Structure 1
Amino acid sequence: MRYAIYFCPANDTALGQLGRDWLAASTDAPELPGISMERRDALLANARRYGWHATIRAPFTLAADVVYDDVRRAVAAVARDCASFELSLRIERLASFLALRPGVDGAAPQKLAATCLEALEPLRASRPNAAQDRRGASLDAAELVLLQRYGYPYVLDRYRFHFTLSAPATESEEQVMRQWLEPRVAELPLTRVDALSICHEAAPGDAFELLERIPLCAPGMDRTS
């Protein structure tokens, strides 16, 4: 079993609705001209499995003596100390895939992710073979160091707040997806990152499920500054 800490927008928000529409099951999924249903499902498969979210702490396995209540207490402590914040979102290519990214890279997402990373690190099972597991991933020297230290390379200064929209696609496929997404993303109000969601993967390959959504503290109450 693995746990992850995400920002999952509430269902009654515009961003939550966008995610439900975009990642809907095959029969309800958006029509993408020129992209077959099978290809669309392949492009969205991982995004559907991991759920509509922005990663705060990437999936990790608990150490042998750690239980869920330990995770919950650690996340609740982070939430008490970190204030909610707002950001705008836009479509970008991140590495090789389409994603929703902040219009401006601010300090708030980075600080929240770093605080959560350090708070949960004592609860994580070590991964002595992490570098071997990531062979072929084209990591640079700094990312390899982070991988060995935290079990995941895209943390701290390599962290990028984002919502994954699809797997790597061809240029023409990206254009079709953008045609559906861009007018809807343009209509989004500012997104308030207002909670940390604890999600889990019961068995390898299973879809991640939301266990609990823990609100961040109100703006002005941040104790990490």
Structure 2
Amino acid sequence: MSGRTTWDLSTARFAIYYAPPEAGRWWEEGSRWLGRDAITGRFLDAPKVPGLSCTVHDATVDARRYGWHGTLKAPMRLAPGARLGDLREVALAVAARHGPFTLAMRPGVLPAGSGQRSDFAGFVALCPGAGATPVNVLAEDCVRAFETLRAPLTDAETAKRRAQSLSSRQGEYLAAWGYPFVFDEFRFHMTLSDRVGTSDAAAIVDWWQPRVQTLGPMCVDSLAIFVEPAPGAPFVLHERFALGGRA
């Protein structure tokens, strides 16, 4: 947990993420892959991957800044008058409404979207197979419950999102919820790369496939507040909240 509790609330962003238990192998493996531990802030040596045209470090520049996580409520600035204590209260309430569950994760490629070069596959991520309903329910609760604490998007933030060529429904969600990929447009995932070419994507998937089998189901037993202390700064895990209200 981050020891810092004060930030410039006009610029800091807060996100509600899932992060694997810090003492477990899922946390260690994912943090090592990205090259940074979002709890300690320590930089790590990423593995070497056969068939990858660049280093893992170069393939994970953006992903590393966000840390090893799965998004439940996308990064947001706090609304005027809202405080970190308000965020904690909502997190405690949401966590108490949901029990722990497991997800069978598998690596795959998520689409790059329109406007990308034809030789770019998209980005690689771990996604759940069957049995994703509990995490979808948890994410929907997070999207709704934290909404009163979210500051409106700036014009620049909105323009950046709309540059992704959103569908009409995604555009409506962006306007209403500050993020286009919610509810029926949501797909839980844990990012393994930035946008990469098709051959690099295949190399990453091949590297992760046997490892997810060895690691086994991912235990979702908490949600966490992550903080971006200043624009462009690495996100850090500030505090966890156990599902089911466990201590």
Within 5 Å, give how 1:184-203 maps onto structure 2: 184-203=211-230
Q: How far apart in 2 are the matches of 1:167 and 1:145?
A: 26
Aligned partner (choices 122, 138, 141) of residue 115 of structure 1 = 141
1:14–1:189 contact (8 Å) kept in structure 2? no
State yes or no: 1:16 paired with 2:16. Answer: no
Name the structure 2 match of 1:215: 242
Displacement of 1:89: 0.4
Partner SS state of residue 93, structure 1: strand
- Which residue is equivalent to 1:126? 152
- The two structures have a TM-score, normalised by structure 1, of 0.90
| Superposed CA offset, 1:52-88 (max 9, x none) | 0111111001011001000000010000111111110
Matched residue count: 218
Give runs of aligned pairs for residues 65-144 of structure 1, distance below 5 A: 65-95=81-111, 96-127=122-153, 129=155, 130-144=157-171
Shift of residue 178, structure 1, vs aligned partner: 2.4
Q: Per-residue displacement from partner, 1:12-44 (whole Å, max 9, x unpaired)?
A: 22211221221226872111245465x532311
Mapped to 2, the partners of 1:28 and 1:134 lie a distance apart of 32
Residue aligned with 1:165, SS: strand
Superposed, 1:161-200 pairs within 5 Å as 161-200=188-227
Structure 1: any 5+ residue segments left out of the alignment? 220-225
Unaligned runs of 5+ in 2: 1-11, 37-42, 112-121
Q: What SS does the corresponding residue of 2:179 show, helix, strand or coil?
A: coil
Confirm or deny that 1:28 pairs with 2:54. Answer: no
The 3-state SS of whatever aligns with 2:81 is coil
Question: In the alignment, which residue of structure 1 is the partner of 2:116?
Answer: none
The whole-number CA distance in structure 2 between the counterparts of 1:180 and 1:133 is 32
Cα distance in 2 for partners of 1:81, 1:28 equals 38
Q: Which amino acid aligns with 1:4?
A: A
Q: What secondary structure sits across from 1:48 in the alignment?
A: helix
Identity of aligned residues (%): 38
**Which one is further off, 17-26 or 119-128?**
17-26
Distance in structure 2 (CA, Å) of the matches to 1:218 and 1:157 = 27
Residue range with higher mean Cα deviation, 85-94 or 129-138: 129-138
Deviation at 1:127, TM superposition (A): 2.0
1:198 shift after superposition: 0.5
